[in-house]
Every structure is written in C-alpha cells, then in structure tokens.
Structure 1
C-alpha cells in the first residue's frame, strides 16, 4: 500500500489547539520510510482497516482470519504497530490479533481533536472496537498503551472481555525521575541522535535501541512528531476496587518507569486481578519475553472464555 494511502490524512505542520502533528513534510517522509520498513518485517496482515472516530481516523491491522474474540494491541508512547514484531507470531498463533495505531501518537492514525482526559481516550478506543465490528475483545497494552487499556476499562468497559497490562506507565505508581528525564528528552526540539538513542537504551534495559527497526521508528517519531497527549491522573483506589474487567498485570522488575513492587501492590486492589513482577524484565518487556507473554496471555484468557 503506498504511503499516501497507508497514512490517514497525516497532520503535517503545527495545527491550532493541542493536537499531535508531524513537524514538516521532510520529517514526515523520513518517519513514513521508517514506518514502512517496520511494517515490512511483520507477518502480512490479513486485513487493513481505517476506522473513523470522534478524535480522528484510526489505522488498524488484523493478523489472523477473524471470527473469534480477538486481542487488540495498544502501543506505548511514541510507538505504533511495528513495535509488536516480536509478539505477533506467538499471539496470532492462538488468537486473531488487531493492532491499532493510537490517536495522538506517531503512526498512520491522525488526531483531529484535542484529548483532554481518560474518558476521551476511552472513547476513541471504544469507537475503534465498534468500527471494527468487535462486540467484545481483549485489550493488551504496553506502557502508556496499558494505561489506555485501564482508562477504557474504567470509562467504556462494555466491549471488553479482559485487559492485559505490560509494565503500565503512570497507572499504579508515580513516574520515576528517570522516566521524567526520558519523557522530557523525547520532546526537546533538535535533540542529538546520540542522546535520543541513549535515552531509548536507558528505558530498554541497556539494549541498543537504534540497532533494531522498532527503535529506529520510535527515534523517528521522537524527532519528527510533536504529541499533545494529556498526562492523565492515576486511577484512585476506589476506582480500582470497582473495576470489574478481568485483569492481568505484568510488571518489569528492572523498569525505570516506576517502582515495580509498589505498582504491583496497587494493581492488586483490582478485584481478582492476576498480578506478577518479572524480576529480570525491563520496560521493554514485550520484546524481551514475547513467547512467555503469549503463553501467559493464553492461559489468562482461556479462563475467561
């Protein structure tokens, strides 16, 4: 699919209001090249969809024949569908998988309206599920994508069979000073590539992020895309105790995002939540343990069906 068709009316140049955008045509072209290179390494999608939502059109990819209750993947900050390269083989061997590029993040979806709170975030996710014709689905999110899954469970739970959370950021514990440094570094204009790659390596447990296509794509997003996502407040203890969607939460013991043990203790406030800390995992847990995650997810959802 040509880039002109793959990307859904990309926002190029600063718009009015708090809306994410690519900084210019050249930057968008660089990002689009990295995006297409990342997609080329994934299994061939069985379907590619464009879903209109209140906050902009969403690009989604289906891996698998459809027909069963799918798992829908929600990427982390500055990331999109190619970040799931390591996970798709294991997940799609057992389940139909939809991956969506999030509104307000660099990818093939486009934000057209300001996101102000968790209810807004949950709205575009629910509208995407509806537009894909999914009456029920499992959400699996990483980092901020896991936060997005929790927001959907809190505000728009009706279509959710379960949520699986991979080291959810700013959800169950405050962000660490290290993560704040990384977040600030990702939005500083003119950040040298060496510094940007060092920040990505830091959050990925020391891995050389620029040596893999996923890391190169995230670096391109950091350089050429300006997000306008709100920093959402963490759910209250009362909200967590009232959350009725089955939950599996996997925390990375070596994460720099937060104190993993403290975050896990808070996540256990969710009734019947299955909560684990994997001591050797970093925040890049999805790429470090793809087979183990696929097996653990299958075990979890088999108890729900």
Structure 2
C-alpha cells in the first residue's frame, strides 16, 4: 500500500502542477522503474483533477447569477482551472501531434516536428478548436442540468486518462528514447498496472452512479435511467475515439510518443462530452 501511494503521488507530480515538494517529494522518491510502475495511476490523476475541476465548477454555478449564460461561463472558467492544474500538459501533446502529423506525411519528419518545442499553425488551430469545443459542449450540458455538467467533468477526466493505457499496452513507443521525458513511463505497462488503471476508472463510475442513485443528483429534466444510458453512450463514444486515434497513430507513426498519449486524452475527453450530449 505504501508503494502504491508513492506511485500515485509520483504520477500526480509528473502529470500536474499540484506541488509534491520538500519532505513529501523526498519520501516519494524517483526512479525510471517507479515512473513506469506509476502509469497505472494515470486515471487516478483524473479522479483528483476531475474532482477539483468539478468542485470548482459547482461552486461557480452556485455563485454566478442564475441566467442562461451561467453554465457557459462556469464551463469556460472550469476549463481554465483544469489547464492551470495540469500545466496544459495534454493540450501541449495535442498541439505537437497536430503539428507533426499535419506538417508532413513522412514518418521521420513527423517525429522530428513533434520534438520541436515551437507551436505551428496546425498545433495552434487544434488547441483552439479543442478548447472551444470543450467549453461549448460543457455549456450545453450545463443548460440541460447544472449537476450534469459537474458529473460529466468528473467522469470524463477519469475515462479519458484510462484509454491511453491501452495504447501503451498495444503499440510501441517510437519517440526519442534519449530525449523523451515520458519514455520511462510510456515504453511499457504491466498487466497489473493496466488493471490498476481500470480499477480507478471503475471506482469513479460506480461512485458517480451511486451518488446519482442516493441523491437527487440531477434535475427533473434528466431521469436516473436517462442519465445511466447517456453515460453508457458517452463511454462508447470515448472508446470509439480511442480506437480511431490508436489506429491513426499506428498507421502514420507505427507507434506512439508521449505527445500522442496527451492527444488521445484530449480527443477522448471531447468525445465523452459529445456522446453524453448526443444521448440526451
């Protein structure tokens, strides 16, 4: 259990800007083997980030004037908060992948572009469109039901961080082994770590369903049965987005890089919101 806590805190340290410093960082420690073992806790980072963003958004919805624009404002500010929590880590991956695969059809040239820290036109457009789509979809969900917006934020952050683990398991890491900070994390994942990730995801979904069943979690506009069906559709939409992204990366790159995992997280999160909205 102590080792699992260390791995979880190391994953938080790697994927967020939440401070794990001083004596706590010394206790956690670091090694490439530990970072590799921590991969299974990536969805657990989603539990923390998603929980904080959901709580922040819920507070905004209570404090903002009860007008038709309130959900959209809360969605925009909640998105800003999520970017601050993660340091735009995954958005940066999306930008690099868009630049690399949009800038060249040659595999080696694409990988070279993805290593460049500068953001090109394809990357900038991809991030702008992703953030815009995220905000408007969340605003739409908030129009249906404010608690639904909060629920969607929490579950989507967890689910979208689960699918990349399957990519690590199925594809080969093709990034620069010497220069990639994600290489120790992403080059492989054990079956035990993969199961850990799915347990995080399952726990988050069960918690959400239980909260909905035990309380009046959604407004009268959305019944409990409709919500469960919509969640199932959102999960399927997110899964389909993962399948498409993984097949695309396999075809274009013959594998994946750390940036690709960030791009998968962003696309799967958007697909979750879209699936939920379409279902409702």
Structure 2 length as normaliser, TM-score? 0.30
Higher strand share: 1
With a CA cutoff of 8 Å and minimum separation of 6, indicate the structure with the bigger relative contact order: 2
Larger Rg over CA atoms: 2
